[in-house]
């Protein structure tokens, strides 16, 4: 049988306080008062849909070998590159390249479920498929979307062995019902009137799709234990469930109070949230609406209880820092032209030839381990750094991204340009050996100290805006 083998998620640490955002804009948009409750996830300045997808994928692969993955599907409506395979960057960061098929899927809020269907179909032959979805959507200042959206990612590993949630069936329809859109030259969504979307879109398109899916699975609405349907209109999922004969108690929370809607990723984020607490025999229906409908039904198996613990949605949500500085939110999203000073004026051109030759080191954080003396070092070099060895061409590739490290020395630099000053960086060292100078991220003054335990996280190093926005990625150290 084919189904979900493992799951993972990622939610940025920062949480924008919605009341703070409302207070900054109420002079212009007092009507947003009803949305000024709770908080929404907010990506750091060095995060985008690729970095979040990498973190979700790492969480998903906690108990599995990344090199076993044969297909990667990356769903997003905010792919950082229009003409570069974004899924390929994720594969390289996970140290998966050989025998790998990678594809980007976008263009609709149901891209996440469309990618999941593709991953499940590709896995039927026994080739494990990783499905990752992430979105970091922009919204106009003082808009409802600014408060309703959230940044986040989810990842699911599909396969045929040790399945924790088997696929019972799926059904899809495609139709060009435009409830909102974002043109090629726009950074923001343009939405149509809510009542029309509800009455002509959801009410007429979704129920028949659910009915067809239930029929294909030979189930009744009352058989569904968990009903997942993202929507910016909170009443709609309950309405669709009622029409379809699904119990109101089965409707899953939209996670709006402390996360927000994560776009193309949200159906999968909610699915991961459901899987965390699901029991064997539970039937989960996932419905994604966006120029049509994807409907999938899964049945949780006993294998789910054997899956090792991972952070998942709940773990990342618990790791939070409240952000009440609305100006910082605008600056991190390039909505505020800040005087960066002359120290920010340096050429960020990436040597693509070097990036290609050293991609395992730069994107995969692969160092070397001497097969003569066992010394670990980063970066890998021709000569072993052990003064008692100095063996030549003796190093095997050694992945270091998943290793815990500690701070050997650090600096909090208020002179160097940083989008979030001061800039923290320092020497980090790994237990088995190897050390290098690294930038720190998601770090506060009381967290950065000599001996502090850190984890490695894939982030944006800088952005070459002079040449069309080539983002340079590397690994940074963050508090455990």
Q: Where are the domains of the chain?
A: 3-332, 342-365+400-479
131, 158 in Cβ contact below 8 A?
A: yes
pLDDT of amino acid 319:
96
CA–CA dist 133, 55 (Å, integer): 11
The average pLDDT across 326-331 equals 97
The average pLDDT across 192-198 equals 95
The average pLDDT across 194-199 equals 96
Give percent of the chain with pLDDT exceeding 70: 100
150, 129 in Cβ contact below 8 A?
A: no
pLDDT of amino acid 212:
97
* Domain covering 3-332: architecture: 3-Layer(aba) Sandwich (3.40)
254, 231 in Cβ contact below 8 A?
A: yes
Residues facing residue 438 across a β-bridge:
426
Q: Flag whether pLDDT at 466 surpasses 90.
A: no
Look at strands 405-413 and 453-464 and give their pairing: antiparallel
Q: Flag whether pLDDT at 348 surpasses 90.
A: no
Please state whether the predicted TM-score (pTM) of the whole model is above 0.85.
yes
CA–CA dist 294, 213 (Å, integer): 9
Q: What is the pLDDT of residues 285-307, one digit of tens each?
A: 999 999 999 999 999 999 999 99
pLDDT of amino acid 52:
98
Q: What is the pLDDT of residues 143-184, one digit of tens each?
A: 999 999 999 999 999 999 999 999 999 999 999 999 999 999
């Amino acid at each position: 049988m084919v189904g979900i083998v493992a799951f993972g998620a990622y939610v940025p640490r920062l949480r924008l306080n919605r009341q703070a955002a409302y207070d900054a804009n109420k002079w212009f948009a007092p009507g947003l008062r009803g949305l000024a409750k709770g908080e929404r996830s907010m990506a750091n300045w060095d995060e985008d849909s690729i970095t979040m997808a990498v973190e979700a994928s790492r969480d998903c692969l906690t108990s599995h070998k990344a090199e076993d993955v044969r297909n990667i599907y990356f769903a997003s409506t905010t792919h950082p590159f229009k003409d570069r395979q974004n899924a390929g960057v994720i594969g390289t960061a996970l140290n998966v390249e050989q025998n790998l098929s990678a594809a980007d899927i976008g263009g609709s809020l149901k891209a996440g479920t469309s990618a999941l269907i593709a991953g499940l179909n590709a896995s039927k032959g026994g080739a494990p498929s990783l499905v990752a979805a992430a979105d970091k959507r922009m919204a106009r200042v003082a808009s409802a979307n600014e408060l309703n959206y959230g940044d986040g990612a989810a990842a699911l590993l599909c396969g045929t062995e040790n399945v924790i949630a088997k696929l019972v069936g799926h059904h899809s329809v495609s139709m060009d019902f435009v409830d909102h859109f974002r043109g090629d030259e726009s950074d923001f969504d343009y939405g149509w009137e809510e009542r029309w979307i509800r009455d002509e879109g959801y009410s007429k398109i979704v129920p028949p799709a659910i009915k067809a899916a239930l029929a294909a699975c030979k189930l009744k609405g009352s058989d569904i234990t968990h009903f997942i349907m993202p929507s910016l209109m909170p009443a709609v999922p309950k309405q669709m469930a009622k029409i379809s004969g699904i119990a109101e108690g089965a409707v899953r929370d939209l996670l709006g109070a402390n996360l927000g809607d994560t776009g193309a990723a949200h159906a999968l984020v909610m699915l991961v949230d459901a899987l965390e607490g699901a029991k064997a025999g539970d039937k989960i229906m996932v419905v994604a609406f966006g120029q049509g409908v994807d409907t999938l039904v899964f049945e949780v198996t006993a294998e789910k209880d054997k899956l090792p613990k991972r952070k998942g949605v709940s773990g990342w949500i618990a790791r939070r820092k409240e952000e009440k500085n609305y100006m910082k939110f605008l600056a991190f999203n390039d909505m505020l032209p800040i005087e960066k000073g002359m120290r920010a004026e340096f050429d960020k051109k990436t040597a693509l030839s070097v990036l290609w030759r050293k991609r395992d080191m730069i994107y995969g954080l692969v160092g070397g381990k001497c097969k003569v003396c066992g010394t670990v070092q980063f970066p890998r070099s021709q000569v072993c750094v052990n003064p008692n060895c100095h063996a030549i061409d003796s190093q095997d590739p050694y992945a270091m991204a998943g290793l815990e490290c500690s701070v050997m020395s650090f600096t909090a630099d208020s002179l160097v340009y940083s989008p979030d000053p001061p800039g923290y960086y320092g020497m980090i060292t790994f237990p088995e050996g190897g050390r290098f100078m690294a930038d720190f991220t998601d770090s506060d003054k009381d967290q950065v100290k000599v001996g502090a335990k850190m984890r490695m996280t894939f982030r944006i190093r800088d952005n070459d805006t002079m040449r069309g926005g080539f983002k340079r990625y590397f690994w940074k150290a963050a508090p455990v």
